[in-house]
Amino acid sequence: MYVLSPYVSEKVWGYENWIVSNITNKESTYTIDGETYPISKITAGKYPLLIKLIQTYENLSLQVHPDDEYALKNEDSIGKTECWYILDAQPGTRLITGLKSIYDNESLKKAITNNKIEDFLFETPVKKGDLIFIPAGTVHAIKGGMRILEVQQSCDITYRLYDWKRDREVHVKKCLDVIQPIHSVPIKGFNSIFSCEYFRIEKMNISGKTEIEIDSKNFTALFVISGDITLTTADQQLSAKKESLVFLFPNIAVSCVCNGKTTKAELIVIKVSSHR
């Protein structure tokens, strides 16, 4: 078991902590006996997920990600399907999570040119504890005043459709190539299990000693939403605090208890989908 240290990416709208990352030159790290190593030393660069902690102060760009087929053909990469767990959000916060209806590419392109694209966007209110699935091809934007745990395919490709008049590159043609006429709504007060073809996310509430089910074939990531915990295996004991992430090797027996005065803890357990 390792507590990982993130790769920190500063943005014009806030920052991202890449807490589990195999991306070249953007790897998360772990420390043993005072020596720091990239995560690829234990994963060989093959762990298929990228997990981020995102803090926003302003709106992110309006963007869309390619699916595997398009990304492999045009970017020599896998695609990017992702999911967001809302750690915190200002009252009244809304997310852009798709299009209102079916639009042809010419209408979308014209709306972008004329700064009218907001009229086409599906927005949904969210609050702390909600979960939102964003499959590849979904037009989306995270707005300011949010803290989010993002789980996604291990892909660093983003196509910007519109950037709220900020002077950054946009990729309109590629966006229009991959946009799907879909939108997502949040799972309110997520407190169970969500899975897709790439990852499985489980919310756990810990009060007494609890056994954590670990993937038998791939690494398991455990993110502490709240509380302080101690994880124990046959030959290791490790403590983890709020908003830390523990990376666990496959096929080990792990128990979890709350530390000190903490009587309850909330965890997100992240696994690679079983057929991956």
Single-letter amino acid, residue 193: I
Mark whether 160 is an active-site residue. Answer: yes
pLDDT of residue 260: 74
Given the residues 94, 147, 160, 200, the one annotated as active site: 160
Task: Write out pLDDT tens, residues 200-219.
Answer: 999 999 998 999 999 999 99
pLDDT of residue 208: 87
What is the arithmetic mean of pLDDT over 21-40? 96
Rg (alpha carbons) of the chain, rounded to whole number: 19
pLDDT of residue 275: 62
pLDDT of residue 41: 96
Q: Which residues pair with 131 in a beta bridge?
A: 85, 187
What is the arithmetic mean of pLDDT over 24-44? 95
Whether the Cβ atoms of residue 57 and residue 145 lie closer than 8 Å to each other? yes
Q: Out of 142-146, 223-227, 259-263, which region has the weakest mean confidence (pLDDT)?
A: 259-263
What is the arithmetic mean of pLDDT over 147-163? 96
| DSSP strands (E only) in 126-209 | 131-134, 146-153, 159-162, 193-195, 199-206
Task: Write out pLDDT tens, residues 49-96.
Answer: 999 999 999 999 999 999 999 999 999 999 999 999 999 999 999 999
State the number of CA atoms in the 13 A half-sphere of 210 facing the CB.
Answer: 19
Quote the CA–CA distance of 273 and 265 in Å, as a whole number. 25
Q: Which residues contact 242 (CB under 8 A, 6 or more apart)?
A: 224, 225, 226, 227, 228
Q: How confident is the model at residue 174 (pLDDT cuts 50, 70, 90)?
A: very high
Whether the Cβ atoms of residue 122 and residue 97 lie closer than 8 Å to each other? yes
Decide if pLDDT at 128 tops 80: yes
| % of the chain beyond a pLDDT of 70 | 99
Q: Which domains does the chain have, with CATH numbers?
A: 2-178 (2.60.120.10), 199-272 (2.60.120.10)
pLDDT of residue 113: 85
pLDDT of residue 276: 58
Decide if pLDDT at 129 tops 90: yes
Q: How confident is the model at residue 122 (pLDDT cuts 50, 70, 90)?
A: very high
